[in-house]
Structure 1
Amino acid sequence: MSLQIASISQNCKALRLPSVGAQFASLAEEAAQHKHSHLHYLEALLQSEMEDRERRSIELRMKEAHLPRIKTLEEFDFAQSPHIPAARIRALAEGGYLERAEPVLLVGDPGTGKSHLATGLAIAACRQRKRVRFTTAAALVNQLVEAQREQSLSRMLARWSRVELIVIDEVGYVPLAEVAAELLFQVIAERAEKAAIIVTTNLPFSEWPQVFTNARLCKAVLDRLPDQAHIIETGSESYRFRRTLRKKAKE
């Protein structure tokens, strides 16, 4: 029997079936105890492999997304932020906006949960096996400027275009030089009606000229980004501050 187990384990390794290799013996014993049929045993074994592959695929998607931290929508306390439309957020998490290539704009003051919600939606997209990338506006602009300097901008823009969901966090925290604003606009314009984008910002649209100081460019951004967008206002009262107070109250 030990030789047979060793042979099966070796074959599973060669066929790249790690879950089958890890589970076949214990599932066989369980099937014998409960007098399950061979087909029932095979189904359980293959199901185990499928679930393991799904888990590893999601883990890879989340790693490639470069999420700053793992914050799911399940962890967001909507009861403490009743002005945020929980039903709309949960509907977005189902992924329809990804298929329709619709933007999602999270607008509100610092600490109101914008980044948490954006991260939660990004994780939901990873669970649906979408290619996701999370970045801040400043980091993205720095990458684009560096690529332009190294004459590799076209390749970088092509890589970003293949991502099914881009999350650009913290738009509006730092004014952009005209060249940087034009490069960011290229990324946004390229995705219009082609692929989804999530943007978080602390500025109402009326104040975006502070970021895109070129009036023509600002008008072009506002013409493309809010069009067909899901605009979620997170308000002005700090979710982060209230959460800190609750933690201290429990200590």
Structure 2
Amino acid sequence: MTTTTSKTTTGDAAAHASIGAAARELQLPTVRAEAGRLAELADRERQTHLRYLADVLAAEVDDRTERRRTRHINDAKFPRLKRLSDFNIDAVPTIGATTLGQLAAGQYMDAGEPIVLLGDSGTGQRHLLIGLGLAACEQGRRVRYITTAQLVNELVEAADERVLSRVVARYGRLDLLCLDELGYVQIDPRGAELLFQIITEREERASIAIATNLPFSEWGTVFPDPCLVSAIVDRVTFNAHIIETGTQSYRLRTSKTTRSRSRKPA
């Protein structure tokens, strides 16, 4: 009996070593880490070999999916994480739960459709922009969040260093580009032309989501060339989902409500 147990233990150790070596060679870290634990579980529950294999592979897939999701979120460079589910729809009556649900599903990205979030500062544009980007990351899509001024500066530097085509191609490969604060800073002619290259690179092929405080009729205050303004507006509004967040600051209303509640007698 002791001899049989000893042989089994030795065989298991050899099997674990073999699994570890194979998993390392095939770059399956979760299989290497979980194979022993799942084998003990399979033995207790009298699972078949196929069931055990399925559980081991499922663990690897789940872990890899989570790592990819985390990597996409980190690569997106969000200033903070905000989810669509946390957005207060009651504070912005122009936005319905159905609309947010449809956008969260991400079909607009499959069609390369733009999203434009129009509204004054504090009305929830950034929350929605980040929420859309985060939802896309969780679907395994490549996303980048950046302000308009930051993107223009990056493009100007790339042009000066003669690597513009590489940078434009990198932005073109994204599934979703989240462009924030369009309208807060005036853009010079060179910067406007460079930004237009990014928009053109993605036209009808990959989605761009833009948050702006200006109606389209006032985009001429940001871009100096009327012809360029017309071309940009034409591209970002074609088949676009245009969402108006209004003019009343959600943050200001929330602060006022909080202060009012704190002043009420107990």
Query: Counterpart of 2:4?
Result: none
**Which letter maps to 1:201?**
T
Q: Does 1:116 align with 2:152?
A: no
Q: Which runs of 5+ in 2 are unaligned?
A: 1-8
1:81: Cα distance to partner?
3.0
| Paired residues for 1:118-197 under 5 Å | 118-197=129-208
Cα deviations by residue, 1:6-52 (Å, 9 ceiling, x for unpaired): 44334323322111122222222222222222211111111111111
Cα deviations by residue, 1:186-239 (Å, 9 ceiling, x for unpaired): 211222112110000011111111111221111111122111100001112222
1:241: Cα distance to partner?
3.3
Q: Does 1:214 align with 2:225?
A: yes
TM-score by length of 1: 0.91
**Which letter maps to 1:132?**
V
Q: Distance in 1 between matches of 2:179 and 2:140?
A: 19
Q: Does 1:36 align with 2:47?
A: yes
Flag the structure with larger Rg: 2
Query: Counterpart of 2:242?
Result: 231
Secondary structure class of the residue paired with 2:162: coil
- Please tell me the root mean square deviation across aligned C-alpha atoms, in Å: 2.0
1:164: Cα distance to partner?
2.0
Q: Which moved more, 1:158-167 or 1:51-60?
A: 158-167
Q: Which moved more, 1:141-150 or 1:15-24?
A: 15-24
Aligned mate of 2:26, from 15, 18, 30: 15
Query: Counterpart of 1:54?
Result: 65
**Which letter maps to 1:195?**
A
Q: Distance in 2 between matches of 1:11 and 1:244?
A: 58
Q: State, as a whole percentage, how many aligned pairs show the same letter.
A: 45
Query: Counterpart of 2:85?
Result: 74
Q: Does 1:65 align with 2:51?
A: no
1:246: Cα distance to partner?
6.5
Secondary structure class of the residue paired with 2:187: coil
**Which letter maps to 1:52?**
D
Q: Does 1:240 align with 2:228?
A: no
**Which letter maps to 1:23?**
E
Secondary structure class of the residue paired with 1:225: helix
Q: Which runs of 5+ in 1 are unaligned?
A: none
Aligned mate of 2:111, from 100, 108, 112: 100
Q: Distance in 1 between matches of 2:63 and 2:166?
A: 34
Q: Distance in 2 between matches of 1:215 and 1:113?
A: 29
Cα deviations by residue, 1:87-134 (Å, 9 ceiling, x for unpaired): 112201111111111100011111111111111111121222222111
Query: Counterpart of 1:3?
Result: 13
